């Protein structure tokens, strides 16, 4: 046994050392990133005159970050800043401010654009039927459902003919379906790339743009964005593909020199000249005018927008930048180091009265391919009208480039080698696989008629982000300190220090693993870490309580500790696994913040299992023979006689507990019918605005002022944090997608609140740069709200089923599963009922939304923890005392685990209270639901799970009757 223990300890030590090295490695990237971001902030503050809210600050900050992007900033390992920035732990938008948008690309519009049906009415009927099914089943695959409905409505239809522009003649319906699915995916990818390039040109630092699993949905996270209306307009604009003839630099050099001279002699200008702002000159005989960095591009664009440039340059000349930069090296004049930087080509386009040579809507299809001679290339097909125009354009430009332009940005400028007739072209060049695929998607986007709608829109102001960091960090530190004091106060200095060492290691490993995943830390993620710390204490409590029992049985300290770890293992394993199951369900069915919470909770639980079960044991084994360790009792004067020797007849009180439960359920059901639930905009759709005033305000007065201005709509105004900040919620015109709705609602709010805003202008009120006015906004459209509600129902049901099956599998007794299910169902129902009873009464938001569902699922996992510990002790006692009746065994098990139950609940409540009081408004409702759930869940384990399991176990009850 000693050999096995030594071997296990050695393995644990090796794993711990490996984890420490890996975590240090990945966390170092965050340290390096913060170092250089702080330098960028210092530089930007100097340039902007200490105005961190100004556009000058943002431009200077981005310019500094861009300038070091390809510089090696990691000593010894040679990582560039761009690489280091991606590998560290970043801050989510709720911690640093910005904009989070979910866009929906219309899949029906894509289907229309790629189809060539002979019977339009049938095609429209199929689309309508598909939409009807998708409205009821949000998780259905649109393309698969479309083909299913087409087969139902027109079984004789040849789908290869319906989609002849993308499918091959003679293909089966399943083959065409696969082709159409890929085409839809490519069109959405094309939209994603278009949006990415628009955002890059807008100047957002480190945006996150990704396609979601849901058909046609795209997520954009844009940190630091302030011009929110402009961004919304930019995102909703349709793609505009065009083909342009070009000027050579020689043809326009005289006009450019004239512009240079005029700018040099303009005493009222900025002092910048055109050629002086270029980082590299252009090439004669080509359309390349020159190259510039991202920062110098802005200067050149501002020059080209002046009346001087409009007067001197030809009216049929457009100067536009290439999308893809080229890497260049230069010697830094200050440090003398050789650095790398991105340079963008400026290309001279020739227009015909401001119009291109050819519009992109003539492109029928485009694909990327490869052969050994040409490498990666792109094939492009045009319709008949486009083929005629393309033949004319290519005839006039043999030996010259023709530029492919999307949204005023040049994607490629291939050279025309001969007249191209028939509308089919091949574009070659030094393309990578991704370059060729991106260009093919750009060409296809020119004919894409799919509209893009904003279905979810959240804006977090920088001041709220800073406050969230302070709140989250403060709650985190205080919770950690209190947990450490708690363990030392109840179990003694040495056991407490060892447990606290485990907590610190748990924290270190959690952050290190998050860094290795390149995860983004959010406020809900911090809550997940803090909650995981609270739940980590449970493992130490279980071990220490079992060790105390072994000491009371007369064993020596080393043997008591060894048996304590051994006997507590199964309960720790079961309770951790059940928590992970609920967290995985949250991860699968939650949205952004909930996924962040679930991710950190899973990582924290896994780390706590390793640190509590293996690392702390390693310390006890290493120092177990020393004198201080020989005197360990796992008690203090405060806890020595606490909950020891209790003999409460819990099962005997079941009639009273069941009666109380029935009364509570009756009250809840009445409340459901009388008051209902206060659904948040996550589930109902609507808009939330956080508004900060410079003086205390009364919510009922604001509600009275605003209500008449939002006819036929719900409106609520509640206080958050303090009486100078309110949250205004409304579903006014949430189903309308016409332009200007967001601006209209902002104007209504401004007019309704004007008496409390003083001299503040509408512009100041509607931005998030100031400390007064709208600090954040959130919009959830009805489509995504319905998706969230459906996912929430699925998540709760799956969680209950998973718990039932796990208990059944683990204990092989359906009575235990029934008892556990009854307890968690009652706990969940009670929390929901409490929110039904008291919303609008208690002084904080009590809405049923995504975070509330996360709280319910987390409580379910926590509740099962308690129940598993009790049932695990029941299973152990059945083996130890086979002649005892089940009634007494159940009571004995509840009493013997009572100390652990109270201690774990107490430590978790300690953490939750810290988050509730200090963690900020955005997670206050979540933490309140957790606090209430932990209390109810603890009682439900004792007074519902155990009695129900006892009553359900007919076999043992029958044996008890025979024995009597």
- Residue labelled with tokens 């699915």: 181
pLDDT of 1 reads 39
Query: Which DSSP helix (H) or strand (E) runs through 776?
Result: strand 773-780
Contact 213, 589 (CB under 8 A): no
Other beta carbons less than 10 A from residue 39's beta carbon: 13
Q: Residue 509: what are its φ and ψ, rounded to 5°?
A: -65, -40
Q: At what angle do helices 2-47 and 592-610 cross, to 10 degrees?
A: 140
Contact 488, 500 (CB under 8 A): yes
Tokens at residue 901, please? 């139950």
pLDDT of 227 reads 66
Tokens at residue 303, please? 């020059």
Calculate the CA dihedral of residues 670, 798, 578, 853 and round it to 10 degrees. Answer: -50
pLDDT of 3 reads 44
Under DSSP, is residue 964 helix (H, G, I), strand (E, B) or coil? coil
pLDDT of 245 reads 92
pLDDT of 284 reads 85
Q: Provide the mean pLDDT of the chain.
A: 80
Contact 847, 783 (CB under 8 A): no
Q: What's the rounded Cα separation, in Å, for the pair 114 and 41?
A: 48
Q: What's the rounded Cα separation, in Å, for the pair 946 and 818?
A: 10
End-to-end Cα separation, the chain, in angstroms: 43
Contacts of 56 (CB under 8 A, 6+ apart): 47, 48, 49
Contact 143, 184 (CB under 8 A): yes
Longest CA span, the chain: 112
Q: What's the rounded Cα separation, in Å, for the pair 7 and 4?
A: 5
Summarised one tens digit per residue, pLDDT across range 77-87 is 778 887 887 77
Query: Which DSSP helix (H) or strand (E) runs through 208?
Result: strand 208-211
Of the candidates 853, 523, 444, 836, the one whose C-alpha atom is nearest the C-alpha of residue 683 is 853
- Residue labelled with tokens 């009371």: 552
pLDDT of 186 reads 81
The residue ranges of DSSP E strands in 399-461, in sequence order, are 402-406, 409-412, 424-431, 452-460
Contact 872, 901 (CB under 8 A): no
Distance of CA 708 to the CA centre of its chain: 36
Percent of the chain with pLDDT over 90: 4
Summarised one tens digit per residue, pLDDT across range 760-773 is 788 777 765 556 77
pLDDT of 852 reads 77
Q: What's the rounded Cα separation, in Å, for the pair 42 and 34?
A: 12
Tokens at residue 836, please? 């039904």
- Which residues in the chain come in under a pLDDT of 50? 1-4, 448-449, 964
Distance of CA 869 to the CA centre of its chain: 33
Given the DSSP bridges, would you call strands 773-780 and 452-460 parallel, antiparallel or unpaired?
Answer: antiparallel
pLDDT of 130 reads 87
Tell me the C-alpha to C-alpha distance, in Å, between residue 819 and each of 126, 579, 662, 842. 48, 18, 16, 32
Contact 39, 64 (CB under 8 A): yes
Contact 273, 310 (CB under 8 A): no
Confidence (pTM) = 0.68
pLDDT of 492 reads 84
Contact 40, 65 (CB under 8 A): yes
pLDDT of 205 reads 59
Distance of CA 236 to the CA centre of its chain: 22
pLDDT of 448 reads 47
Summarised one tens digit per residue, pLDDT across range 99-154 is 777 777 888 888 887 888 777 888 888 888 888 887 766 667 888 888 998 889 88
Q: What's the rounded Cα separation, in Å, for the pair 756 and 752?
A: 9
Contact 375, 431 (CB under 8 A): yes
Distance of CA 812 to the CA centre of its chain: 38
Of the candidates 853, 873, 877, 882, the one whose C-alpha atom is nearest the C-alpha of residue 959 is 882
Under DSSP, is residue 730 helix (H, G, I), strand (E, B) or coil? strand
Contacts 24+ apart (CB under 8 A), 871-877: 871/807, 871/811, 871/816, 871/819, 871/820, 871/945, 871/949, 872/570, 872/571, 872/574, 873/571, 873/897, 875/811, 876/567
């Amino acid at each position: 046994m000693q050999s096995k223990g030594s071997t296990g300890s050695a393995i644990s030590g090796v794993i711990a050392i490996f984890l420490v090295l890996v975590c240090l490695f990945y966390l170092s990237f965050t340290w390096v990133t913060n170092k250089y971001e702080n330098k960028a902030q210092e530089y930007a503050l100097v340039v902007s005159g200490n105005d961190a809210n100004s556009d000058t600050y943002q431009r200077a900050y981005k310019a500094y970050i861009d300038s070091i992007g390809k510089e090696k900033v990691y000593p010894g390992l040679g990582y560039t800043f761009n690489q280091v920035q991606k590998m560290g732990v970043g801050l989510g938008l709720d911690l640093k401010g910005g904009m989070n948008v979910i866009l929906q690309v219309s899949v029906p519009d894509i289907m229309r654009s790629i189809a060539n049906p002979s019977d339009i009415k049938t095609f429209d009927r199929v689309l309508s039927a598909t939409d009807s099914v998708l409205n009821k089943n949000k998780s259905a695959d649109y393309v698969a459902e479309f083909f299913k409905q087409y087969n139902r409505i027109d079984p004789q239809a040849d789908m290869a003919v319906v989609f002849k522009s993308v499918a091959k003649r003679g293909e089966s319906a399943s083959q065409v379906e696969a082709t159409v699915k890929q085409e839809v995916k490519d069109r959405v990818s094309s939209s994603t790339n278009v949006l990415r390039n628009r955002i890059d040109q807008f100047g957002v630092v480190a945006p996150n743009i990704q396609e979601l699993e849901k058909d046609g949905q795209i997520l954009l996270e844009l940190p630091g964005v302030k011009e929110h209306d402009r961004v919304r307009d930019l995102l909703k604009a349709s793609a505009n593909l065009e083909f342009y003839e070009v000027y050579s630099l020689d043809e326009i050099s005289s006009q450019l020199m004239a512009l240079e001279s005029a700018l040099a002699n303009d005493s009222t200008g900025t002092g910048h000249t055109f050629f002086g702002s270029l980082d590299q000159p252009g090439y004669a005989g080509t359309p390349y005018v020159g190259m510039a960095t991202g920062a110098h591009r802005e200067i050149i664009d501002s020059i080209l927008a002046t009346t001087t440039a409009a007067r001197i340059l030809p009216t049929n000349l457009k100067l536009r930048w290439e999308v893809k930069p080229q890497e260049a090296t230069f010697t830094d004049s200050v440090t003398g180091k050789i650095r790398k930087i991105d340079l963008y080509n400026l290309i001279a386009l020739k227009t015909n009265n401001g119009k291109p040579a050819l519009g992109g809507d003539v492109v029928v299809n485009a694909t990327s391919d490869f052969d050994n001679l040409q490498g990666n290339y792109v094939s492009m097909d045009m319709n008949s009208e486009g083929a005629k125009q393309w033949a004319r354009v290519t005839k006039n430009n043999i030996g010259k480039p023709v530029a492919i332009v999307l949204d005023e940005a040049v994607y490629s400028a291939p050279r025309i080698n001969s007249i191209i007739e028939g509308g089919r072209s091949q574009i070659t060049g030094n393309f990578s696989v991704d370059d060729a695929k991106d260009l093919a998607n750009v060409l296809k986007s020119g004919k894409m008629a799919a509209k893009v709608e904003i279905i979810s829109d959240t804006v977090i102001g920088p001041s709220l982000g800073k406050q969230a960091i302070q709140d989250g960090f403060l709650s985190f530190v205080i919770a950690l300190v209190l947990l450490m004091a708690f363990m030392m106060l109840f179990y003694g200095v040495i056991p407490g220090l060892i447990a606290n060492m485990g907590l610190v290691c748990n924290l270190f490993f959690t952050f290190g693993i998050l860094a290795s995943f390149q995860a983004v830390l959010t406020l809900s993620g911090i809550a997940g870490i803090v909650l995981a710390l609270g739940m980590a204490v449970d493992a130490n409590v279980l071990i220490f309580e079992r060790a105390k029992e072994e000491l009371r049985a007369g064993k020596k300290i080393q043997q008591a500790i060894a048996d304590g770890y051994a006997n507590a293992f199964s309960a720790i394993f079961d309770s951790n696994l059940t928590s992970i199951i609920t967290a995985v369900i949250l991860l699968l069915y939650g949205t952004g913040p909930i996924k962040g919470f679930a991710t950190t909770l899973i990582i924290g639980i896994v780390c706590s299992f390793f640190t509590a079960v293996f690392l702390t044991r390693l310390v006890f084994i290493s120092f177990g023979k020393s004198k201080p360790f020989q005197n360990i009792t796992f008690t203090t004067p405060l806890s020595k006689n606490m909950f020891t020797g209790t003999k409460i007849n819990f099962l005997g009180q079941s009639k009273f507990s069941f009666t109380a439960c029935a009364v509570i359920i009756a009250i809840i059901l009445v409340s459901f019918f009388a008051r209902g639930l206060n659904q948040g905009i996550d589930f109902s759709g609507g808009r939330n605005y956080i508004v900060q005033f410079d003086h205390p305000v009364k919510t009922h007065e604001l509600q009275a002022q605003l209500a008449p201005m939002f006819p036929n709509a719900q409106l609520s105004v509640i206080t958050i944090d303090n009486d100078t900040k309110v949250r205004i919620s409304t579903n006014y015109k949430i189903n309308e997608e016409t332009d200007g709705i967001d601006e209209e609602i902002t104007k209504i709010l401004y007019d309704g609140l004007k008496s409390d805003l003083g001299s503040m202008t509408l512009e100041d009120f509607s931005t998030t740069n100031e400390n007064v006015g709208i600090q954040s906004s959130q919009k959830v459209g009805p489509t995504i709200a319905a998706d969230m509600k459906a996912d929430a129902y699925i998540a709760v049901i799956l969680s209950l089923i998973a718990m039932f099956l796990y208990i059944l599998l683990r204990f092989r007794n359906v009575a235990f599963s029934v008892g556990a299910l009854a307890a968690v169902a009652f706990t969940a129902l009670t929390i929901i009922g409490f929110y039904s009873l008291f919303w609008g009464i208690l002084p904080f938001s009590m809405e049923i939304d995504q975070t509330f569902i996360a709280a319910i699922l987390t409580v379910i996992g926590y509740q099962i923890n308690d129940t598993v510990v009790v049932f695990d002790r029941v299973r152990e006692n059945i083996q130890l005392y086979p002649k005892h009746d089940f009634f007494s065994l159940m009571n004995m098990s509840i009493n013997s685990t009572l100390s652990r139950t109270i201690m774990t609940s107490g430590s978790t409540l300690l953490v939750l209270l810290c988050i509730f009081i200090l963690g900020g408004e955005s997670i206050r409702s979540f933490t309140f639901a957790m606090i209430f759930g932990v209390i109810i869940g603890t009682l439900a384990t004792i007074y519902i799970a155990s009695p129900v399991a006892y009553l359900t176990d007919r076999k043992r009850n029958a044996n008890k009757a025979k024995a009597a």
